[in-house]
Structure 1
Amino acid sequence: MTLTFNDPSEQQRWYAVDDGVMGGQSRSQFSVVDGEGRFHGEVSLDNGGGFASVRREPHDFESTLADARGIALAVRGDGRTYQLRLKSTSLGDASAYRVKFTPATDSWETLHFSWAAFAAVRRGTLLTDAPSIKPADITQVGFLIADRTDGPFCLRVKYIESL
C-alpha cells in the first residue's frame, strides 16, 4: 500500500514531538501542500535541545507493513540528514527503529529500505540487545531530525510505500 499526500486531511494525522519535552526550543510541524507532505520547522540547540520529530497516528497504512519486505520513500531534501522512525510493540515507548538518510536537494528520489537497514534506538543511543524489527509489530511511522545543526529544515515527501 502507498501513503500519499493528495488528501489534505492526511495532515491531521501527524503531530510534532520536539525537544520541548526536555526544555529545548526546536519546533516542527507536518503540512500537506500541493500533493506532498512536508516535515518542516527549525532546530535549536539552545537549552540542551537539538531534535524535532513528527509522528503519524496509527491508521490503515501501518497495518499493511506486516507482509512487506521494507519501506520506500519518494523524498526531496535540503542537505540535512533525517531519520525514518518506526514505533513497534517490540520496543519500549521511548524506543524506535530508525534508518538515516540524506535526500537529494535538486530532484525527487526514491529510497528503498529493507527491514535489515533499521536499527533500534532509545533517545539516540543504539540498542544492541533489541530484537530485530518485526513488520507486524509496527504501530507508527514518523520522521526525525537530530543532526546537531541550528536552523530551518524542510523534508518533502511524495509518498511512503510498503515494499
Structure 2
Amino acid sequence: MSHLRSPVCVYVYVCVCDSRGPRLGLVTAAMSPRLVAGSGNVSTDNFGGFASVRTRNLDPPLDLSPYDGIELRLFGDGQRYKLIIRPDANWDGIAYCCSFDTRPGVWQAIRIPFANFFPVFRAKRVAVGSGAQPLDPSAISSIQIMLSKFEYDGQLNPNFRRGPFNLPISHISTYLAADLPPRFVHVSSAGVTRPNRPGINVDQEPPAVRLNDTLGGILTWKLAGEDALRASGVPYSIIRPTALTEEPGGMPIELDQGDTVKGKISREDIADLCVALLSCSAARNITFEVSSRVPFSQAWTLPDPTRPPFPRDWAAALSAANIRPGVTGRTVAGVYTGKQPEAEALQAAGITAPASSCKSTASPTAT
C-alpha cells in the first residue's frame, strides 16, 4: 500500500476543563477528500495542554514494511507536533513517536523515516529490550498527530504555545528514499485541460474538445483520473498522446507540456514510450503531451519497411524537451497555468494555490 488515508472518521481528542476538573472531550475533525484540518484552542489550565487527531484502529493493520517512512504534506503554524504510530488495538499501550517542527504559513512535505520512531508510554521513553521492541512497519494499527506542551520524559515542547492552532493536512503517505522510476504509467489524452479554458477557440480544436459535453464529458473525466493519480502519492508518469493511429512506429516525435499540441501518433510509439518510462527515473511525477511531426493528412511509412526503426532514447527526448514535474496545463482558480508548474503560475498571478496544487517546500528535519 503506497498511500494512507483513513477510510473512517477522524476524531480530535482534547482536554476539556470545567468546574469538575480536567476530563477528555471529543470533537469531530473537519475532513474533506483531500484535506484534514486539525484546529482548535489549547489551554494549559487544569492539567491541559494537548490535542490530537487519531485514526480508528485499522483492520487488518497496514503493512508498510516495503517503504522507508511516512510523509506528511501540511500547512504549518510554527509549532512542534508529534507523529505517533500504534502497533496494536490497545487504546493506551506502547506507541512509537517522532516529533517534527512546522514552518508558519507555508505548505511543507515532511518525511519521517521509520528508523526515527522510538517507543513511549504516556510521553515517557521505553528502553528497547525492556518492555518494547523497535517499530515494526509491517503491523501499523493506527496513526495519530498530537500537539502537546510536553516532549518526552517531562521535558517541555520548545515550540508549543497555548491558544489557537491550525494544521491543515492534504495527505499522509509513505515514501521511498531512492530516486525511483514511475510505478504507474497512465495514458490519458491531449486536450483534457482545454474544455472551458479561458480564451480558447473551441472551433479550432479537435473533435473530442469541441464535443466534450456531447460525449458525456469524456475529457473532463480523463482529467479527473489524472488528478486522482497525481494526488495519490504513487510515483507516476502521465502521457497525453494526440490522436492514436495504426501506422507503424518510428515517427519523428514532439514532446511538450501545457496541453496545446495537436496531431497524431502511432500506437506502437506510445507502447514503446510506456515501457521505457517504467525504468526512467527522470520520468517520475511528470505530465506531458506527445505527438508526431508528421501532418495528420500525410500517411506514415517506414523509410525501409524491411528494417525496424532504431530504439528511441526516450530519456534523452524528455531532457531535450525540458519536461518538468508540476506542469499540468490545467486551469486553476481561473488561471491557465500553461507550461509553468502550477504553483509558480499561480504565484505569478498573485493567487494562493490550493493544497493539491502547491509545490512542497524542502522537508525540515524531524526531531
Q: Same fold by TM-score, threshold 0.5 exceeded?
A: yes
Matches within 5 A, 1:1-40: 1-3=2-4, 13-20=9-16, 23=22, 29-33=28-32, 35-40=34-39
2:62 maps to which residue?
63
Alpha-carbon shift at residue 46 of structure 1 (Å): 1.2
Q: Distance in 1 between matches of 2:115 and 2:107?
A: 24
Matches within 5 A, 1:1-163: 1-3=2-4, 13-20=9-16, 23=22, 29-33=28-32, 35-59=34-58, 63-89=62-88, 93-129=92-128, 130-147=132-149, 149-163=161-175
Q: Distance in 1 between matches of 2:61 and 2:104?
A: 28
Alpha-carbon shift at residue 68 of structure 1 (Å): 2.2
**AA at the equivalent of 2:123:** G
Q: Distance in 2 between matches of 1:63 and 1:16?
A: 22
Q: Distance in 2 between matches of 1:29 and 1:102?
A: 24
Larger Rg: 2
Is contact 1:28-1:52 (8 Å) kept? no
Is contact 2:63-2:140 (8 Å) kept? no
Q: CA 1:136/1:4 → structure 2, altered by over 3 Å: closer, same or farther?
A: closer
Runs of 4+ in 1 over 6 A off after TM superposition: none
Is contact 1:26-1:42 (8 Å) kept? no
Three-state SS of the structure 2 residue aligned to 1:109 is strand
Structure 2 unaligned residues grouped into runs of 5+: 150-159, 176-367
Q: CA 1:71/1:2 → structure 2, altered by over 3 Å: closer, same or farther?
A: same
**AA at the equivalent of 1:82:** Y
Structure 1 unaligned residues grouped into runs of 5+: none
Q: CA 1:131/1:110 → structure 2, altered by over 3 Å: closer, same or farther?
A: same
Alpha-carbon shift at residue 55 of structure 1 (Å): 0.6
Alpha-carbon shift at residue 3 of structure 1 (Å): 3.3
Q: Distance in 2 between matches of 1:79 and 1:127?
A: 28
Q: May I ask how many residue pairs the two structures share in their alignment?
A: 158
Is contact 2:118-2:125 (8 Å) kept? yes
Q: CA 1:26/1:13 → structure 2, altered by over 3 Å: closer, same or farther?
A: closer
Is contact 2:76-2:108 (8 Å) kept? no
**AA at the equivalent of 1:141:** I
- Higher strand residue share: 1
Q: CA 1:34/1:15 → structure 2, altered by over 3 Å: closer, same or farther?
A: closer
Larger RCO: 1 or 2 (CA < 8 Å, sep 6+): 1
TM-score between both structures, scaled by the size of structure 2: 0.38
Alpha-carbon shift at residue 24 of structure 1 (Å): 5.0
Q: Distance in 2 between matches of 1:120 and 1:160?
A: 21
Alpha-carbon shift at residue 19 of structure 1 (Å): 2.9
Q: CA 1:20/1:136 → structure 2, altered by over 3 Å: closer, same or farther?
A: farther
Q: Deviations over 1:41-70 (max 9, x none)?
A: 111111111111111123489524243221
Q: Deviations over 1:93-134 (max 9, x none)?
A: 333111111222222111111111112111111112321000
Please, what is the CA RMSD of the aligned residues?
3.0
Q: Distance in 2 between matches of 1:26 and 1:51?
A: 11
Moved more, 95-104 or 134-143: 95-104
TM-score between both structures, scaled by the size of structure 1: 0.80
Q: Distance in 2 between matches of 1:51 and 1:62?
A: 26
Three-state SS of the structure 2 residue aligned to 1:158 is strand
Alpha-carbon shift at residue 35 of structure 1 (Å): 2.9
2:223 maps to which residue?
none
2:268 maps to which residue?
none
Q: Deviations over 1:65-107 (max 9, x none)?
A: 2432211111111111111111113988333111111222222
Q: Distance in 2 between matches of 1:60 and 1:105?
A: 35
How many percent identity over aligned positions?
26
